[in-house]
Amino acid sequence: MTKEKEIFEFLNNRVFNPILTSPKASDSLKQGIRLTIMRLNERDAKGMVSYFWSAMAGTEKSNKFAKKMRAEGFLRFEEVFEEFRERFDEKWLRKKS
């Protein structure tokens, strides 16, 4: 498995898929997740990790989206932060596939 697929699988299982498959998730939340997936797929593993940290940094747009995720009852990037940090660290990025 490529590093990109490993990162995507982690985020898909923990954050994206629960939203995309839920009949309770709003269309706007699903649309935001699809856009996030599209942006992640444009990046290599290092870029994907950087994008994750940018989403965590708290721009006005990302804060609003995180609040929407929470309000609708879903996990946010913030809730998988520690596991992501431990799993996809610099050592992991430098490791040969």
Say yes or no to pLDDT of 13 above 90: yes
Give residue limits of the domains in the chain.
Answer: 3-94
Cα 86 to Cα 92: distance, rounded to the nearest angstrom: 9
Rounded distance, CA 6 to CA 66, Å?
23
What pLDDT, on the 0 to 100 scale, is given for residue 62? 85
Instruction: Report pLDDT for 57.
Output: 80
Overall average pLDDT of the 8-22 stretch: 97
Percentage of the chain beyond pLDDT 70 is: 99
pLDDT computed for residue 59 by the predictor? 82
Prediction pTM value? 0.90
Measure the CA–CA gap between 63 and 69, rounded to whole angstroms.
Answer: 10
pLDDT in tens, 48-82: 999 998 887 878 888 899 999 999 999 998 899 99
